[in-house]
């Protein structure tokens, strides 16, 4: 007994001696490194510096002066000249055309005109056939192979008061959503001075207050015409409400809402997402993470590459606010990734209200409650995201995770995006399962990588059970795409269902 104990003690001592000084590392820390902010692109910085709070103010004030932009005002014949939604549409179109003229005709300005059918059903917000006009300007990508990829920014230019049939009384809508409309217009102005490999679309839509009618039509058009639309940024209520006495507003935060399970997912797709815990790794959620990633480059917490003070996008893990909806949902329903930007804290006295003072409270969505410097910050976040995505190679395609290997490796496949430049490189990113944003990353080429045509297979020595993975494509300047989350492969089996009878 004594001899055995001595032998065990000696063996343990030898083991400890051999491993002395070797710190134990979790597998997801033993490879790769913490993600760092990408280097700032001087051209993007120049575009962001050109953002003008004064011009945003001017556009919002002009649109407010059209008095009432109720969607159904397009059918009224007794409105005074220079009022109503059609007059506002003409102004927006004219601004896009002026921007295009200033950049040598770089924008193709388009109208998507259609008739929204009316209904006499109780609760209908459009009671008669109504003319709607989506207005959008296309900045065509310069790379023939990559210009098919598109990114879109939008806001809605219709407004309302309490009574959804009131097309005449003052409905300024300075925040909801003239602020978002102004963001799209300002992004067009500053980004049109620059060139990008992929295409950017600057849109404004009506009919949001009646049920997302304008965006629904534009999203269906995109689907029918086969747009390769990789991301939609919807700005709705980004005015930075400045109600006197508001103690909890933040002028350095903006919320970014994104869907989890896709609106158009099949039952089988939903089941698989839930089974593997990937419901927070959908394309829209990855787009939201890209907004955060871009902001770490251009709007750091301390100091800023782009004055004035920085702004922090905050990822909200839900499609939208409680009981509310926005135009990004229309694109989600057609299968496109899309997110919504909204100010940190809303004042509901200034939304969907008749302009009045009652009980000492001032109601109405008035110009004086907008913070134009804040709106300019939000415009910069949008512009930086659009410019980065339009500069980067596209999102890797067909990413999968092997469910066959019963070991602690993660075997992933992906195909390079169409039109990717020859010098593009690919990055694996990951985060712990209780984290909402990417934490670590490494070049795919540092792992056991096999390339067959356009398909890459990599084996990462990290347990797929303890982290979530993504794969991004990047160019030599550090512009990276939104990540593609590997979808678990579904092995073909004739026997029992996967995992049956196992612990």
User: What is the reported pLDDT for 498?
Assistant: 44
Closest of 191, 213, 210 to residue 202, by C-alpha? 191
User: What is the reported pLDDT for 333?
Assistant: 97
Q: Which residue has 């935060």 as its token pair?
A: 253
Would you state the structure tokens that stand for residue 492, as one six-digit string? 């073909």
* pTM higher than 0.75: yes
Q: Which residue has 């939304």 as its token pair?
A: 351
Question: What DSSP designation does 32 have?
Answer: S
Q: Are strands 338-343 and 228-235 parallel, antiparallel or unpaired?
A: parallel
Closest of 188, 189, 192, 213 to residue 203, by C-alpha? 188
Cα gap 96→101, rounded to integer Å: 9
Alpha carbon distances (Å) from 397 to 32, 33, 412, 484? 22, 24, 12, 7
**DSSP-derived secondary structure for 366-404:** -GGG--HHHHHHHHHHHHHHHHHHHHSPPPPEEEEE-S-
Which SS3 state, helix, strand or coil, does residue 329 take? helix
User: What is the reported pLDDT for 22?
Assistant: 61
314-331 core/surface letters (b: 16 or more CB in 10 A; e: else) = ebbeebbeeeeebbbbbb
Cα gap 96→69, rounded to integer Å: 19
Cα gap 98→185, rounded to integer Å: 11
pLDDT along the chain (503 residues), means of 10: 45 49 82 94 95 98 97 95 97 98 98 96 91 98 96 98 95 98 98 98 97 98 98 98 92 96 91 91 97 94 55 96 96 98 97 96 97 97 98 96 91 95 96 97 91 93 96 96 92 46 41
């Amino acid at each position: 007994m004594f001899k055995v104990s001595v032998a065990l003690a000696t063996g343990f001592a030898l083991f400890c001696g051999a491993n002395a000084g070797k710190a134990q590392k979790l597998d997801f820390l033993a490879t790769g490194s913490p993600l760092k902010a990408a280097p700032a692109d001087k051209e993007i910085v120049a575009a962001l510096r050109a953002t003008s709070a004064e011009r945003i103010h001017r556009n919002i004030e002009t649109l407010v002066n059209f008095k009432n932009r109720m969607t159904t005002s397009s059918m009224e014949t007794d409105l005074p000249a220079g009022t109503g939604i059609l007059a506002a549409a003409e102004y927006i179109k004219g601004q896009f055309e002026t921007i295009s003229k200033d950049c040598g005709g770089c924008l193709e300005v388009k109208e998507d005109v259609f008739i929204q059918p009316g209904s006499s059903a109780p609760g209908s917000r459009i009671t008669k056939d109504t003319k709607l006009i989506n207005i959008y300007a296309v900045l065509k990508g310069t790379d023939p192979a990559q210009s098919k990829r598109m990114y879109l920014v939008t806001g809605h230019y219709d407004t309302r008061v309490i009574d959804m049939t009131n097309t005449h009384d003052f409905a300024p809508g300075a925040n909801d959503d003239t602020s978002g409309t102004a963001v799209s217009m300002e992004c067009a102005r500053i980004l049109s001075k620059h060139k990008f490999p992929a295409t950017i679309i600057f849109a404004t839509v009506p009919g949001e207050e009646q049920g997302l009618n304008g965006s629904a039509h534009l999203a269906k058009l995109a689907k029918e015409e086969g747009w390769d639309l990789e991301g939609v940024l919807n700005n709705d209520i980004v005015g930075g409400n400045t109600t006197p006495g508001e103690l909890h507003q933040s002028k350095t935060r903006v919320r970014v809402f994104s869907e989890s399970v896709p609106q158009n997912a099949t039952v089988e797709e939903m089941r698989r997402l839930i089974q593997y815990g990937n419901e927070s790794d959908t394309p829209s959620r990855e787009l939201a993470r890209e907004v955060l990633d871009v902001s770490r480059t251009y709007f750091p917490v301390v100091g800023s590459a782009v004055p004035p003070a920085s702004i922090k996008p905050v990822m909200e893990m839900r499609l939208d606010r409680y009981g509310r909806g926005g135009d990004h949902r229309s694109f989600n329903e057609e299968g496109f990734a899309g997110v919504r930007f909204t100010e940190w804290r809303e004042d509901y006295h200034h939304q969907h209200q008749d302009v009045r003072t009652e009980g000492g409270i001032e109601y109405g969505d008035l110009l004086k409650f907008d913070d134009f410097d804040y709106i300019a910050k939000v415009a910069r976040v949008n512009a930086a995201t659009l410019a980065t995505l339009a500069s980067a190679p596209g999102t890797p395609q067909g990413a999968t995770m092997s469910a066959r290997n019963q070991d602690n490796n993660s075997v992933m496949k992906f195909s390079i995006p169409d039109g990717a430049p020859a010098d593009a490189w690919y990055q694996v990113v990951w985060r712990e399962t209780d984290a909402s944003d990417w934490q670590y990353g490494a070049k795919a080429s540092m792992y056991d990588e096999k390339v067959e045509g356009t398909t890459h297979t990599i084996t990462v020595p990290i347990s797929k059970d303890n982290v979530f993975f993504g794969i991004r494509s990047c160019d030599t300047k550090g512009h990276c795409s939104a990540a593609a989350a590997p979808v678990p492969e579904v092995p073909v089996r004739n026997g029992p269902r996967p995992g049956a009878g196992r612990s």
